[in-house]
A and B are shown apart, each in its own frame.
Chain A
Amino acid sequence: MESESTTSSAQVNGNLAQTVADLSKHMLELDEDDDLEVFSKDALINQYKLEEQDIKDVFITVDCPENHVTSIETFVTYRVITKTTRSEFDSSEYEVRRRYQDFLWLKGKLEEAHPTLIINPLPEKFVMKGMMERFNDDFIETRRKALHKFVNRIADHPILSFNEDFKVFLTAQAWELASHKKQGPGLLSRMGETVRAVAASVRGVQNRPEEFTAMNDYVETFSQKMGMLDKIAQRIVKEQKEYLEGMKECGPVYTLWSGSEDQLVEPLKAIAGCIDNCCKVTEEQVAGLSENQVPILHEYVLCAETLKAVLRRRDNIQAEYESKVDALASKKADKENLKEEIGRLEDKVECANNTLKVDWERWKRNMQSDVKSAFVDMADTNMNYYKKCLAIWESFLTSQKTDVHLEKDTDS
């Protein structure tokens, strides 16, 4: 990796290289993660010129949820298995157990390190209905799948996958992770960051570039539409389940009826059989929609919130820079330090903007692919449903030895 970055630094936009070089001087306030970021930024420029699917060298599975009981609490842990050929990793295979909180911590660290990168959302922390839902099998399975996707998305990301905290997450034993978590920027410096961020957001950004306003507008609409699609998809599943409940009552009535008849016994029983078979097919269909389509749409609802946060953070970085520029105009003293700081912040803004722009394109590509496959899946599920039901009813007609359906075909 390092040799790559030096040989291709010549290809790099001269401005950016300068920015990177300047940045490396001002690493005092940032923790060691950002040192890695210097190299990563070089890598970033290169990586985006490569095909993304080029080198997938980190494979992660999240499985085997288990209940973990301590004297204080009960929680679920998931097994995380990593297989990799990367040289940064000491070994080629790792197995650790992680709980939801650990994933949450990871996400926080990644956002901190890369404020304008778009990080896949985590499944939601709480379910509205009740705390006991936490231990419900379906809930855990849905969560497991989402966590699996979360870490794999990070593994596929050209920058995030090289993050040190990510590596620790994948490889450290429980106690190692705990002690690693305690490290990081001191309380005071973290407070300072927060104060700055809040101040910046209160002030608001003045000269937001047009393309980011456009992104903001897009995200607003996208968020709205995704929310609606999510609701629609869930509603369809609900209605279909209710339809299924109703259909389940039909078969038995036909069977009951056949008990009173003599000539009609056979067709009535056959109809009851068909309806029961259709019910089974409907159950498959509902499961298909619930497992494939609904979670994807829901994930993108959460994604929209992530996008909003990313855009906010970018705005804050710019606002911070702008405030220092204003301060320079008004303040008389300490101009030198201020100018240095402005230079640093200017670079920070440019870097943030560029990473966001590139990652935005990557995110859009992923989104399109995900959404497309979700809806294609939905169409497939429904097509299979109707095909199977068709076969069931056609076999009924054949069993009744009639060619009525041939005549009626000309009508439809």
Chain B
Amino acid sequence: MRGSEILERMADSTSEDVAVVGNTDFAAADLHNNTNNTVTGYSCFSKTMMEEGVPLLKKMEISVSETEKRTGKNAVNMQEVYTVYLIETRPVDAITEGQSTAPDSLWRRYSEFELLRNYLLVTFPYIVVPPLPEKRAEFVWHKLSADNMDPDFVERRRIGLENFLLRVASHSVLSKDKIFYLFLTQDDGWKDVVYDTGFQAKADSRLKALNATFRVKNPDKRYTELKHYSDELQSVISQLLRVRAKVADRLYGVYKVHGNYGRVFSEWSAIEREMGDGLQSAGHHMDAYAASVDDILEEEEHYADQLKEYLYYSESLRAVCRKHELIQYELEMAAQDLVSKKQQREELTTGTVRTFSLKGMTSKLFGQETPEQREAKLKVLEEQIVEGEELVKTSNAECDEYVRNAWVDIDRFKEQKNQDLKEALISYAVMQISMCKKGIQVWTNAKECFSKM
């Protein structure tokens, strides 16, 4: 159990160093803010977390730094090509004995990330679990291929996977999980360890429960509102992504057509004496303008990825609400069952039939029970009632605990979401500004050339 030892050591360490991450993209910046939140007491929830220890990310550098293509046989014994991702880890406090400064690393493929996430979903049902980057490219516009092997797609997925790991590692509850730690550090046999936890059985039953339809008698208003919110969030972000893809496609068209100006100006300049030079140089600027759209749209893709993360987060949010509904429903069922059993007991002891029951009718038709029969029945009922009371008690406790834990994480999530999305909107504006500045530059240059014609 070496893993847990290290975990404990890390939890006990009082190092105040902030994790340095491999990539300097938005994901890292966001996580930096996240960890700040949990440390500086942004919400009341963080104080509790401080007592429990510090998130893994504060102790450990984590990055998904490279990708590689592999070939191998799949489950049905057919050749397949798949991509693997290199996870590098290094303790922040490298002065720990025996630790070298070179990072440890191992390769994982997407399906293993999925396995990890499913495990976390089942093990921490009250946590809004961070989402993985999309399985297949959705909301694409014509330039991006929807092919999973496409290098742009793989690169964006790499960033998304790193982001996932950083989010989990900075979560005060999730980052403590042993399986997560082993995912980052144990090369062989990790899958077996996960399966050994038996989470799959829980997963199956949970899945069944979540898919079943049931009505809760006294729904918790907060959760109902939250579920509505997650639906709205999903709907609006989907719409936004769809519109955005259309706009990106059109923008690409506008810019690229200007490239034709470059070509035709160049051809035309050959027959013009006075205008030739002006046309030629203007043509170069038109080419530059057309080419500039590639960078613009790449940046824009980052923005879309930020939105997508919260699109998928809405699913996590909904899952938490559903799980709560399930627990509430089970509590209500247990309580109902207890009430009916108590009623039956009362009827037996007082001999009055308050409610209609088949037993009552048959006993009326076929004669009353003997006192011994009644005694036996009563005894069974008493046992059942005791069990029932226990069940109600534990269900209640489970429900309370769930609500308490979940609501803490939901508050944390809300803060994170507001911060992240605000930053995303700002970065969108920054991107637009950059695009405008480039445009002004190009057309100023072009105008100069045209004026000289």
Evaluate contact between A260 and B229: CB separation under 8 angstroms: yes
Evaluate contact between A383 and B236: CB separation under 8 angstroms: no
Q: Does B73 contact A (CB under 8 A)?
A: no
Contacts of A242 in B (CB 8 A): 250, 253
Look across to chain A and name the residue whose beta carbon is closest to the beta carbon of B451. A376
Bound Cα distance A35, B98 (Å): 111
Bound Cα distance A348, B282 (Å): 43
Bound Cα distance A366, B422 (Å): 54
Interface set, chain B 227-241, CB cutoff 8 A to A: 229, 232-233, 236-237, 239-240
What is the CB-to-nearest-CB distance from A347 to chain B, in angstroms, rounded to a whole number? 31
Contacts of B425 in A (CB 8 A): 264, 267-268, 271, 400
Contacts of A393 in B (CB 8 A): 429, 432-433, 436
Instruction: Please give the number of chain B residues whose Cβ is less than 8 angstroms from any Cβ of chain A in the complex.
Output: 52
Contacts of A400 in B (CB 8 A): 422, 425-426, 429
Say whether chain B's binding surface is mostly helix, strand, loop, or mixed.
helix
Q: Does B201 contact A (CB under 8 A)?
A: no
Evaluate contact between A397 and B430: CB separation under 8 angstroms: yes
What is the CB-to-nearest-CB distance from B315 to chain A, in angstroms, rounded to a whole number? 16
Contacts of B422 in A (CB 8 A): 263-264, 267, 400
Given A253-B243, A372-B450, check contact A240 B254 (CB 8 Å). Answer: yes
Q: Within the complex, which residue of A239, A245, A260, A397 is in contact with B236, where a contact is CB–CB below 8 Å?
A: A260
Given A218-B271, A368-B453, A376-B451, check contact A229 B440 (CB 8 Å). Answer: no
Evaluate contact between A271 and B428: CB separation under 8 angstroms: yes
Contacts of B257 in A (CB 8 A): 232, 235-236, 239
Bound Cα distance A249, B443 (Å): 27
Evaluate contact between A386 and B439: CB separation under 8 angstroms: yes
Q: Mark A254-274, 1 if CB is under 8 A from B, else 0.
A: 101101110110011001001
Look across to chain B and name the residue whose beta carbon is closest to the beta carbon of A412. B434
Q: Within the complex, which residue of A253, A260, A268, A386 is in contact with B436, where a contact is CB–CB below 8 Å?
A: A386
Q: Does A387 contact B (CB under 8 A)?
A: yes
Contacts of A182 in B (CB 8 A): none
Spot the interface stretch: B150-158, B261-269, B402-410: B261-269
Q: Does B43 contact A (CB under 8 A)?
A: no
Interface set, chain B 177-226, CB cutoff 8 A to A: none
Q: Does A247 contact B (CB under 8 A)?
A: yes
Interface set, chain B 407-453, CB cutoff 8 A to A: 418, 421-422, 425-430, 432-434, 436-440, 443-444, 446-447, 450-451, 453
Contacts of B101 in A (CB 8 A): none
Evaluate contact between B426 and A404: CB separation under 8 angstroms: yes
Q: Within the complex, which residue of B254, B421, B447 is in contact with A239, where a contact is CB–CB below 8 Å?
A: B254
Look across to chain B and name the residue whose beta carbon is closest to the beta carbon of A229. B264
What is the CB-to-nearest-CB distance from A244 to chain B, in angstroms, rounded to a whole number? 8
Interface set, chain B 47-70, CB cutoff 8 A to A: none
Contacts of B258 in A (CB 8 A): 236
Q: Does A222 contact B (CB under 8 A)?
A: yes
Bound Cα distance A320, B87 (Å): 86
Say whether chain A's binding surface is mostly helix, strand, loop, or mixed.
helix
Evaluate contact between A239 and B253: CB separation under 8 angstroms: yes
Given A232-B261, A232-B264, A263-B418, check contact A375 B433 (CB 8 Å). Answer: no
Contacts of A405 in B (CB 8 A): 429-430, 433
Bound Cα distance A250, B241 (Å): 10
Look across to chain B and name the residue whose beta carbon is closest to the beta carbon of A270. B425
Q: Mark B55-92, 1 if CB is under 8 A from A, else 0.
A: 00000000000000000000000000000000000000
Q: Within the complex, which residue of A218, A263, A383, A396 is in contact with B447, where a contact is CB–CB below 8 Å?
A: A383
Look across to chain B and name the residue whose beta carbon is closest to the beta carbon of A407. B430
Contacts of B268 in A (CB 8 A): 221-222, 225, 229
Evaluate contact between A243 and B251: CB separation under 8 angstroms: yes
Bound Cα distance A264, B237 (Å): 14
What is the CB-to-nearest-CB distance from B167 to chain A, in angstroms, rounded to a whole number? 20
Q: Does B247 contact A (CB under 8 A)?
A: yes
Look across to chain B and name the residue whose beta carbon is closest to the beta carbon of A390. B436
Contacts of B432 in A (CB 8 A): 274, 389, 393
Evaluate contact between B236 and A375: CB separation under 8 angstroms: no
Contacts of A15 in B (CB 8 A): none
Q: Within the complex, which residue of B240, B264, B418 is in contact with A225, where a contact is CB–CB below 8 Å?
A: B264
Look across to chain B and name the residue whose beta carbon is closest to the beta carbon of A243. B250
Evaluate contact between B264 and A247: CB separation under 8 angstroms: no
- Of the listed residues B233, B247, B251, B253, the one surrounded by the most CB atoms of chain A closer than 10 A to its CB is B247
Q: Does B274 contact A (CB under 8 A)?
A: yes
Look across to chain B and name the residue whose beta carbon is closest to the beta carbon of A364. B274
Q: Within the complex, which residue of A240, A246, A368, A389 is in contact with B274, where a contact is CB–CB below 8 Å?
A: A368
Contacts of B229 in A (CB 8 A): 260
Evaluate contact between B236 and A257: CB separation under 8 angstroms: yes
Q: Does B275 contact A (CB under 8 A)?
A: yes
Contacts of B117 in A (CB 8 A): none
Look across to chain B and name the residue whose beta carbon is closest to the beta carbon of A394. B433
Q: Within the complex, which residue of A228, A243, A390 is in contact with B264, where a contact is CB–CB below 8 Å?
A: A228
Bound Cα distance A385, B421 (Å): 28
Bound Cα distance A261, B314 (Å): 13
Evaluate contact between A222 and B271: CB separation under 8 angstroms: yes
Bound Cα distance A232, B261 (Å): 7
Q: Does A19 contact B (CB under 8 A)?
A: no
Q: Does B368 contact A (CB under 8 A)?
A: no
Q: Does B323 contact A (CB under 8 A)?
A: no
Evaluate contact between A389 and B436: CB separation under 8 angstroms: yes
Bound Cα distance A390, B434 (Å): 8
Contacts of B247 in A (CB 8 A): 243, 246-247, 250
Look across to chain B and name the residue whose beta carbon is closest to the beta carbon of A266. B422
Interface set, chain A 365-406, CB cutoff 8 A to B: 368, 371-372, 375-376, 379-380, 382-383, 385-387, 389-390, 393-394, 396-397, 400, 402, 404-405
Q: Within the complex, which residue of A229, A257, A397, A412 is in contact with B426, where a contact is CB–CB below 8 Å?
A: A397
Interface set, chain A 321-358, CB cutoff 8 A to B: none
Look across to chain B and name the residue whose beta carbon is closest to the beta carbon of A275. B432
Evaluate contact between B250 and A239: CB separation under 8 angstroms: yes
Bound Cα distance A376, B243 (Å): 33
Q: Mark B382-419, 1 if CB is under 8 A from A, else 0.
A: 00000000000000000000000000000000000010
Evaluate contact between A246 and B243: CB separation under 8 angstroms: yes
What is the CB-to-nearest-CB distance from B292 to chain A, in angstroms, rounded to a whole number? 11
Bound Cα distance A286, B64 (Å): 45
Q: Does A408 contact B (CB under 8 A)?
A: yes
Bound Cα distance A375, B432 (Å): 25
Bound Cα distance A218, B243 (Å): 46
Bound Cα distance A217, B260 (Å): 23
Q: Within the complex, which residue of B244, B275, B438 is in contact with A371, where a contact is CB–CB below 8 Å?
A: B275
- Known: A274-B429, A393-B433, A393-B436; 17 extra A-B contacts, CB below 8 A, are A221-B270, A225-B267, A229-B261, A232-B261, A239-B253, A239-B257, A243-B251, A250-B244, A257-B233, A260-B229, A260-B233, A386-B439, A387-B440, A390-B437, A400-B425, A405-B430, A405-B433
Chain A to chain B: the 4 pairs with minimum beta-carbon distance, closest first: A379-B447, A386-B439, A243-B250, A390-B436
Listed A/B pairs (8) with beta-carbon separation below 8 Å: A225-B267, A232-B257, A239-B250, A249-B243, A254-B240, A257-B236, A375-B282, A379-B447
